[in-house]
Amino acid sequence: MRRRYSIEKAEWSETREKKYQQDCRDIVFKFDDELLQQDHAIYLNRKEGQTMVIKPLNQKTFWYEIWLKLKDFYNT
């Protein structure tokens, strides 16, 4: 029986999303801020207060969308 390619792609996507999640946490840590996940949205705790960063549309690319927004927010 042949192995389905979609399984490999799903595993790869999961691994990639975990990498984006870690990258997001690293970016925020550099600036001494904190990420909070509430109600399928991501909030950024900063010294100035809490702000909503993004409410990702696609669950499969959840952390990728956040990573893009954080890179833009912090200009990294």
pLDDT tens digit string along 25-70? 999 999 999 999 988 889 999 988 998 888 888 888 899 999 999 9
Looking at residue 55, its pLDDT comes to 87
pLDDT-based confidence at residue 10 (cuts at 50, 70, 90): low
**CA 55 from centroid of its chain's CA atoms:** 11
- Residue for token digits 């702000």? 51
Looking at residue 14, its pLDDT comes to 80
Question: Do residues 67 and 20 make contact, with C-beta atoms less than 8 angstroms apart?
Answer: yes
How far apart, in whole angstroms, are the C-alpha atoms of residue 60 and residue 45? 24
State the pTM of this model: 0.78
